[in-house]
Amino acid sequence: MVAEVAAAERVVAELREACAAPPARLNDVAAAMEAEMRAGLREEGGSKIKMIISYVDNLPTGNEEGFFYALDLGGTNFRVLRVQLAGKEKRVAKRESKEVSIPPHLMSGNASELFGFIASALAKVIAEEGRNDVFQDEQRELGFTFSFPVRQTSIASGTLIKWTKAFSIDDAVGEDVVAELQMAMEKHGVDMRVSALINDTVGTLAAGRYNDEDVVIGVILGTGSNAAYVEEASAIPKFEGELPKSGNMVINTEWGNFYSSCLPITEYDQALDEESLNPGEQIFEKLISGMYLGEIVRRVLLKIASQSTLFGKVNHTKLKTRFILRTPDISAMHHDETADLRVVAEKLADNLKIKDTSLETRKMVVEICDIVTSRSARLAAAGIVGILRKIGRAVPGDERRSVIAIDGGLFEHYPEFRQCLESTLVELLGEEASRSLVVKLTKDGSGLGAALIAAAHSQYQH
């Protein structure tokens, strides 16, 4: 048995070494992130990260008033929100939302059917309002969160590059999704204008800014990962046309595709990437986001099971099933505070059919969760520091308060991840500079955030 334990411990020791992210390495990651950002702002296609110009040049101030709508389309359901904003005092006075399932046949049909279905749902929401005198002389305004790759050409137009997830509507590719929606709304008698086309990361930034004027970065740390931030419009060489009056421009970095040779990549990451649907892409996301943490841990456990009998006689079927371990499972095991690590035992038995483990073995599993999650949180922190340095924030001598709005289950529901992210920011920025830095959980950028951006870009703003 001693040899079995030694073999397993060797796997864990090698993992720890391969995942190591000491401050010097993280500073290299932050510097590489900043360099990629600059390259992406210089020219289209100049960087691994796209640095997409969102055309959002005004973020909400908290003074907005009136009714605004949001449409959040990103999966098999979409949501329609109606928000009543009541200025500085009351803020969001009222908020109603409705979720609608998209019938499967519409996800692979044609564009006019899908957008027609969405427009009819919007028509129902308006009909349920009854008489609304607010809109006697004014058109309703909508923020549209569209979570698919688009090439944006203005605040309210963007052509679909390709569908992802379960959608494959060929005649929509290369078309302006806002024009498609606008056309469908007109057919259904919906008098509504799409004021803004956004993605959920830009929405998170807006939702954060609405409640706190010092928010400068919005980050998603959930199933996927991305970041958006406020850039000076004059610092975007690839920006064409007249600079906005505000002097600002929100940039959607698409940092999930970041790659640098200084990233700590293991054999497990390489195998995961090779077997993925998009090999060689989204490397940063594959190291840090909630979609992949459980899968990395599973691959480590499989290696231990194949090199030792530490887990007893295991039927490897479950252990060989990709994505059978999810991040909530990892979080539950990592957070297990019972004396005998009962939660770990249950998760191993339920998910992987690994039963009768010793306490030592369970401790080893917790250690693996800790190594994988700490690397994720530390890399996410390094990415944030790269953005802060690009915009000259939270650096020695900068007294301004800098707030980062973060959404996503990984940050919200995984306490060890969150604590590690926050302590790494302090470690990298130093005590003094990090005093002016605040990290805030900011929810529903894809819904509320979209309505707020519609309000900030309303045609009736005086």
Phi, psi of 439 (to 5 degrees): -110, 125
List all residues 6 or more positions away from 219 whose beta carbon is below 8 Å from its beta carbon: 201, 204, 225, 226, 227, 380, 384, 404, 405, 406, 407, 408, 411
Report the DSSP beta bridge partners of residue 65. 86
**Residues in contact with 362: Cβ distance below 8 Å, sequence separation at least 6, in sequence order:** 340, 341, 344, 345, 348
- How many C-beta atoms surround the C-beta of residue 130 within 10 A? 6
Complete DSSP assignment for 342-387: HHHHHHHHHHH---S--HHHHHHHHHHHHHHHHHHHHHHHHHHHHH
- 356 burial type by CB count under 10 A (0-12 exposed, 13-18 middle, 19+ buried): exposed
Cα distance between the two ends of the chain: 76
Cα 72 from Cα 167, distance rounded (Å) = 15
3-class state of residue 419 by DSSP: helix
Point out the catalytic residue in the list 57, 72, 176, 200: 200
Is 25 assigned a catalytic role? no
- Measured CA to CA, the distance from residue 371 to residue 20 in angstroms comes to 8
Catalytic residue among 79, 82, 140, 418: 79
Helix axes 2-19, 290-307, angle to 10 degrees: 150
Please report which residue ranges of 391-442 form alpha helices under DSSP H: 409-413, 415-429, 431-434
Annotated catalytic residue, options 47, 54, 147, 225: 147
Clarify whether 79 is annotated catalytic.
yes
Active site residue 10: no
Structure tokens given for 337:
């505070």
Catalytic residues: 79, 147, 200
